[in-house]
Amino acid sequence: MAITHCICSSVSFAELKKTADAEGITDWEKLREVRPFGLSCKLCIPYVKQMLIDGRTVFTQSIIE
Ligand code: FES
């Protein structure tokens, strides 16, 4: 199963990337100020951090250690 969203905030990583690219945001905390995510269980935060590094918006395996 692909991991593509912050489920708690109902926002996809693709939407977050679009916002980050449009606003020139490279920091996940700044991105969260513009488009809220990661405010509940926080499991999506490592994925958004990785997205900001390499642009991936779909993850096929866990990156949580
Ligand atoms: S999946 Fe993002 S806060 Fe729960």
Residue 63 belongs to some domain of the structure: no
Residue 30 belongs to some domain of the structure: yes
Residue 46 belongs to some domain of the structure: yes
What's the pLDDT at 59? 97
Q: Exposure of 44 by Cβ count < 10 A (0-12 exposed, 13-18 middle, 19+ buried)?
A: buried
Per-residue model confidence as pLDDT tens digits over 23-49: 999 999 999 999 999 999 999 999 999
Tell me the backbone φ, ψ of residue 21, rounded to 5 degrees: -65, -45
Q: Does 64 have pLDDT greater than 80? A: no
Residue 59 belongs to some domain of the structure: no
Atom of ligand 1 nearest to the CA of 45: 2
The alpha carbon of 54 and the centre of ligand 1 are apart by a number of angstroms equal to 20
The pLDDT mean for the chain works out to: 96
Q: Which residues pair with 6 in a beta bridge?
A: 11
Residue 10 belongs to some domain of the structure: yes
| Structural domain of 11 | 5-54
Please state the domain count of the chain: 1
Is 36 near ligand 1, meaning CB less than 6 Å away?
no
Residue 14 belongs to some domain of the structure: yes
Token couple for 18? 């679009």
| Residue 47's CATH number | 1.10.10
What's the pLDDT at 63? 86
Is 11 near ligand 1, meaning CB less than 6 Å away?
no
